[in-house]
Chain A
Amino acid sequence: MTEMFEKLSLYMQYPFVRYALIVGVLIALCSSLLGITLVLKRFSFIGDGLSHVAFGAMAIAAIFNMTNDMPLMLAITILSAILLLRSGQNAKIKGDAAVAMISVGALAIGYLLMNRFSKSSNLSGDVCSTLFGSTSILTLRKSEVWLCVVLSILVLIVFVLFYNKIFAVTFDEAFARATGTKASVYNLLLAVIIAVIIVLAMNLVGSLLISALVIFPALSAMRLFKSFRSVTICAAVYSVLTAALGILVSVLADTPVGSTIVAIEIAAFAVCWLAGAIKGGVRR
């Protein structure tokens, strides 16, 4: 045990580990907060869909040899998020089907483009690391860390300021609109925030595992609590703990960061599910 702590304190002296911890926890926190709304609006898979869009954007950026692909990724992802959340309302194609369509489409086109035009010698390695995030969180540069920190804090502030409005719009959009809440504006805001979080989260867990960061905290918290506020707080705490634990374990055990975090989230979900079942059983 002491050996482990020694190893840990040794690792903590490396800036890349500290960066990974800060960025990882912030991104997990942001995704979990938005995740509650997404799960309740039946958009659980939007994380998956948008991250594939971001992957497609990355492929395009690679073709044009852009050194900084962040702006293009952000722009395209935000646009798709707006389209998806808007189509959810007057649904000719239902939300989940639209997400699935965009998700698969962007992934296929992205890979096709990369395959045709990429000049990289290690193509499958590149694809694998964008999809699974593998070690990229441990190779963050200082500027990227700052960008992540600033954007995450912005997202958190917006979430807190608009918490009551997000609740009203999520619970009953028709009522909110009828009584004068500008629901479309808040939907737009949500779409932008979600897109930003997803582009950020790609650095952490890669595009395939983003859904986990979005879904697990919300679902686990909903096992245990029954008011929106307590679910929000629980999901936030849950995501911070699992992300921190996941990163530390992956550093110590030398496992891929994204998969480790998700594995821990699954375990924690099981615990919450059990606790919820026992709690419910006792009450009944």
Chain B
Amino acid sequence: MAQLICQDLTLGYDGHVILSGLNFEVDAGDYLCIVGENGSGKSTLMKTILGLQSPMHGKVTTGDGLRRSEIGYLPQQTVVQRDFPASVWEIVLSGCQGRQGLRPFYNKADKALASENIRKMGLDALTRRCYRELSGGQQQRVLLARALCATQKILLLDEPVSGLDPRVTAEMYDLIDTLNKRDGITIIMISHDLDAAMRYASRILHIGSTVFFGSKEDYLKSDAAYTFRKEGETA
């Protein structure tokens, strides 16, 4: 049974359709890359999967024991105010909030999980530091650690490497790859980097004027990839 099933989705804002008739499934352990031009509706799709906005038509269902609140999420741009006082520890721990229900305080297990994810992301030295004083790459890793506190199963990443330098980008991709291969976490990642998508992903979803969903081998042969690549070269 698939972890995530999108059936006949129509996405849009205020009655204005951006994308329609979208069908795809994600299985446990998949590494799905979502590609497409700017404004094609990638972030909108992600928000719909997360339940932050409702689809205009169709539905998103979860299966395989995955609950809706167990989806970890790394937003495209976190509009965290520049003056927000928050330490790395507080932010990572807040990833455990979804499971709290009405329980007011974090327990030992939550704190252990937060420390573990901080270690996994290589942030030990920064635990007490203020989030806004970190570099872009460090901030992304903090948010990834937070997302890992919210889920052990599936991560949605919206352009996790935008604005990072090549070295940090490679590190980030490796980190995500490890999470997928070693911890078996399903990855759904939006990316503009087709080469990276080809290298790491097992499946590709291309949205835009042509829609493609399938394995990356099939994608390479498809029209969608051809036009997308070509536009990338001329741009």
Q: Interface on A for B, CB 8 Å cutoff? A: 40, 42, 160-165, 167-168, 171-172, 174-181, 221-222, 225-231
Known: A179-B71, A226-B130, A227-B89. 4 other contacts (CB 8 A): A161-B104, A171-B94, A172-B78, A175-B73
A171 in contact with B86 given A164-B106, A179-B73, A180-B69 (CB within 8 Å): yes
CB pair B94–A40 under 8 Å, yes or no, is no
Nearest Cβ in chain B — how far from A184, in angstroms?
12
Q: Are B73 and A178 in contact (CB under 8 A)?
A: yes
B97 on the interface (CB 8 Å rule)?
yes
Q: Could you tell me if B130 and A227 are in contact, using CB atoms closer than 8 angstroms? A: yes
What's the minimum C-beta distance from A28 to chain B, rounded to whole angstroms? 20
Q: Bound complex: CA of A229 vs CA of B150, how far in Å?
A: 21
How far does the Cβ of A187 sit from chain B's closest Cβ, in whole Å? 15
- B68 contacts the other chain (Cβ, under 8 Å)? yes
29 pairs from A and B in contact (CB 8 Å cutoff): A40-B83, A161-B104, A162-B104, A164-B97, A167-B94, A171-B94, A172-B80, A175-B75, A175-B147, A176-B94, A176-B97, A179-B70, A179-B95, A179-B97, A180-B68, A180-B70, A180-B98, A181-B97, A181-B98, A226-B85, A226-B87, A226-B130, A227-B85, A227-B86, A227-B87, A227-B89, A227-B90, A230-B85, A231-B85
Chain A's closest residue to B150 (CB) is A179
Closest-CB distance, B159 to chain A (whole angstroms): 15
Once the chains bind, are B73 and A165 in contact (CB under 8 Å)?
A: no
CB-defined contacts of A227 to chain B, threshold 8 Å: 85-87, 89-90, 128, 130
Q: What's the least CB distance linking B67 to chain A, in Å?
A: 8
A178–B50 contact, CB under 8 A? yes
Taken together as a complex, chains A and B put the C-alpha atoms of A180 and B71 apart, in Å, by 9
Q: Does B146 make an interface contact (CB < 8 A)?
A: yes
Q: How far is the CB of A189 from chain B (nearest CB, A)?
A: 12
Residue from the set A160, A161, A181, A227 with the largest chain B CB neighbour count within 10 Å: A227
Most chain A CB inside 10 Å of its own CB: which residue of B71, B90, B151: B90
- Most chain A CB atoms below 10 A, which of B106, B128, B146: B146
Chain B 99-136: CB-based contact to A (< 8 A → 1; otherwise 0): 11000111000000000000000000000101011000
- Cα distance, A226 to B75, chains bound together (Å): 23
User: Which chain B residue shows the least CB distance to A161?
Assistant: B104
Q: Name the contact of B87 in the complex, choosing from A165, A175, A176, A228 (C-beta under 8 A).
A: A228
Q: Once the chains bind, are A164 and B94 in contact (CB under 8 Å)?
A: yes
Nearest opposing residue in chain A for B74, CB measure: A175
5 A-B pairs closest in CB distance:
A180-B69, A179-B98, A180-B98, A226-B130, A227-B87
Closest to B110 in A: A164
Closest residue of chain B to A165 (Cβ to Cβ) is B97
* B81 on interface, CB distance cutoff 8 Å: yes
- Interface-central residue, A161, A174, A178, A225, by most chain B CB under 10 Å: A178
